[in-house]
């Protein structure tokens, strides 16, 4: 019988991939930064409430709060802010997924120096296969006329998620999960709110579609997927966890097929298979 811990990485991939779908549904009705700020503030309140119910520590030390805030700025403000801004500027979800899926390469290389982690030959092969698979799956989605500011924002998101992953392994593993994540949301939500006010992007059109997207992103992504991600980072190597992001673009492509009628061609199917093999190589050896 498979243990829940064995399934957790793939549950995370499924949940995380829906973030691009939620963004596509909600962004036509709200400016990106105020959208995210509101989402994170509500998610923070929910996590604080869960912590109280479970009698989990809430009063963290100043160092823990500073560490959580720093991780949150990179993981939520930079990563999510970059992705949401890019999509609002017309960058396709597929293009954003491809660029941000380069995170495992950066994490794996930097983790050798920063976290003293080692990569075996099979893991290196897996990382290369994963990247090739992602390019095959979403290569056709690249467009010739895309927003330069949008593309820049996606690269900022890539840097943010990479930095947050390394920081979580370096300074975040000893912080209580619920309270630490809630403080992450508070710090990044405040940062995004200020950004929204400064840039004049504070408009929200409340309707059923936007509200549904908001509820999904809060409960499934900001509560479920993020807690699962941080738990995985605390229990596995940074390279192994980051390699899971290789599966997000293929998963997003499959969801787009069922939700929006976007067809998967032979090249995409081959890419999904290659990506799955690559991720298996990294995760299998890393654990």
Condensed to tens digits (0 to 9), the pLDDT of residues 24-42 reads 889 999 999 999 999 999 9
CB 103 within 8 A of CB 162: yes
Statement: residue 83 has pLDDT above 50: yes
Question: What's the CA gap between 96 and 101, in Å, rounded?
Answer: 8
Statement: residue 229 has pLDDT above 80: yes
> Which of 86-90, 122-126, 183-187 tops mean pLDDT?
183-187
Tell me the pTM.
0.82
**Does an H or E element contain 221, and which?**
none
Structure-derived torsion over alpha carbons of residues 56, 62, 66, 72, reported in degrees to the nearest 10: 20
Given pLDDT bands bounded at 50, 70 and 90, which one contains residue 284? low
Question: What's the CA gap between 151 and 145, in Å, rounded?
Answer: 11
For 265-280, the DSSP string reads -HHHHHHHHHHHHHHH
Question: What's the CA gap between 267 and 264, in Å, rounded?
Answer: 8
pLDDT of residue 110: 77
For CA atoms 106, 110, 115, 120, the dihedral sign is positive
pLDDT tens for 7-26 read: 788 888 889 889 888 888 89
pLDDT of residue 76: 94
CA 232 from centre of chain: 13
Size of the chain, expressed as the number of residues it contains:
287
Q: 261: phi > 0 → left, psi -120 to 50 → alpha, else beta; which?
A: left
């Amino acid at each position: 019988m498979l243990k829940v811990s064995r399934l957790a990485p793939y549950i995370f991939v499924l949940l995380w991939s829906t973030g691009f779908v939620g963004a596509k549904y909600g962004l036509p009705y709200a400016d990106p930064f105020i959208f995210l700020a509101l989402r994170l503030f509500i998610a923070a309140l929910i996590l604080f409430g869960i912590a109280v119910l479970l009698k989990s520590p809430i009063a963290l030390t100043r160092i823990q709060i500073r560490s959580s805030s720093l991780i949150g700025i990179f993981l939520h403000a930079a990563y999510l802010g970059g992705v949401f801004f890019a999509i609002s500027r017309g960058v396709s979800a597929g293009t954003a997924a491809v660029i941000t899926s380069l995170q495992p390469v950066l994490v794996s290389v930097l983790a050798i120096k920063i976290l003293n982690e080692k990569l075996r030959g099979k893991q290196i092969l897996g990382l290369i296969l994963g990247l090739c698979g992602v390019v095959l799956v979403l290569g056709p989605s690249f467009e010739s006329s895309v927003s330069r500011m949008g593309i820049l924002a996606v690269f900022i998101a890539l840097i943010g998620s990479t930095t947050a992953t390394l920081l979580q392994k370096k300074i975040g593993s000893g912080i209580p999960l619920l309270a630490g994540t809630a403080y992450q949301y508070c710090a990044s939500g405040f940062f995004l709110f200020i950004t929204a006010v400064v840039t004049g992007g504070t408009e929200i059109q409340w309707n059923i579609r936007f509200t549904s997207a908001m509820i999904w992103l809060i409960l499934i992504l900001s509560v479920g997927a993020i807690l699962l991600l941080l738990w995985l980072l605390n229990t596995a190597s940074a390279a192994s966890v980051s390699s899971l992001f290789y599966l997000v673009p293929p998963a997003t492509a499959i969801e787009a097929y069922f939700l929006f009628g976007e067809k998967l061609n032979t090249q995409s199917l081959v890419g999904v298979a290659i990506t799955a093999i690559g991720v298996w190589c990294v995760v299998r050896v890393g654990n």
